Structure 1
Amino acid sequence: MVLTIKFFMQKREKAWFASSLKSQLQYLAPTPSFPTIAINDPGEEIELDPSEGPVDVFCLLIFDPDQVDYLNSRSNERLIFTSKPNGSSRKLWMSQQINP
């Protein structure tokens, strides 16, 4: 299957608008782990137009795994999920419980 840039841009935009405004505002905040520089007035709020599309720093990662190793540490349960092609472009997932 050939995926185009347009396809990924649509997915990115859909993910952006599915996020809450509070989550979107985090992408306009200062860079984490850097020293604080007082440029803005401390009482000044960052504004974001909710109708605008994703900001430049918003990135959507799309993973297509063939295997997932799931460990639930509360119940001490471990499952391995493995996929196989299903003839069409879909995957058939199977799970197996294994020892943690």
Structure 2
Amino acid sequence: MSLTADDVNKIAHLARLGIDSQDIESYTKDLSGMLDLMTQMSKLDTSGIEPMAHPLDQVQRLRADAVTEADQRAHFQALAPQVADGLYLVPKVIE
């Protein structure tokens, strides 16, 4: 797929981008190249290939799931203006 300078100007207008007239030819060439690459990639047979969450085979380091703070629920509820059955009561704001 090959874009024209008019196409690039229209895309820039829709994206609310300001492009200098001297750069339009460069943008036209680069965007056309990207669209051509996407066209080539869409023709590839990807059946049987499992999708990846990340292109690199990495594992996220996670901290241990352990309690690090003391339970202060009773203390905080003692400070609250209204509590019922362990829940904080708040004024109704939506009718």
Question: TM-score normalised by the shorter chain: which range applies?
Answer: under 0.3
TM-score, normalised to structure 2's length? Answer: 0.26
Higher helix proportion (structure 1 or 2): 2
TM-score, normalised to structure 1's length? Answer: 0.25
Q: Which of the two has higher C-alpha Rg?
A: 2
